[in-house]
Amino acid sequence: MSAQEFAPGLVIQHFAPPLQLSSFKAIAFDMDSTLISIECIDEIADAVGKKAEVAAITEAAMRGEITDFKDSLRRRVALLKGVPAEALQEVYDQRLKINPGAPELIHAAKAAGLQTLLVSGGFTFFADRVKARLGMHEAHSNTLEIEGGLLTGQVLGDIVDGEAKKQHLLALCARMGCDPKQSIAVGDGANDLPMMGVSGLSVAYHAKPKVREQAMVAIQTGGLDRVLELLR
């Protein structure tokens, strides 16, 4: 079934709506540019005048032009060496906005009995706060190393990349005893494609072309809750 515009700014392919929301058991979300309006790493870099340099790498990674996300993240984080840790709070307080429709979609999903998962190639400082703010069940992201109140330019532990996002979704489904096809995956960048590929409903939100082409749903205008137009 080729792509068709179900409603203005809402494109679907490979399925016929409506689907039953309660037939799904889990919904996984990317964070940066999906649940929230910014790429946190780009905004942190702005604190040291390196936003353009970091944002260029972010954009290339999200478009799928840089295939090694881990390497791209290490390169970007290295540019943040020496940034005061307070810059993270400033970004959260002054720049981070929850995207339209996110609270409504998460509320509807939870009301229908779905587990809500945040999986991000971004950072725990933001992901844990966004998880709490939106009342989500679980979050996995990367930890920035801080020493003496300054970022060291290093990430602690294993990096959450596209493969890790997929594995966290599969692990959640395994714990719940459900098929991954009973999950929904929502994202905007190339590193969201692996988890979208194992889900039963993949949703691209104001996404990069490569992601829009592969997703079953592409929200091109309006908020995240537009996916509810396809569910009952």
Catalytic machinery residues: 30, 32
Burial of 52 (0-12, 13-18, 19+ CB in 10 A): exposed
Give the strand order in the sheet containing 4-7: 4-7, 10-12, 217-219, 201-205, 183-187, 26-29, 115-123, 138-147, 150-156
69's tokens: 């996300």
CB distance 229 to 10 below 8 Å? yes
DSSP output for 183-199: EEEEESSGGGHHHHHHS
Rounded CA separation 115/69 (Å): 27
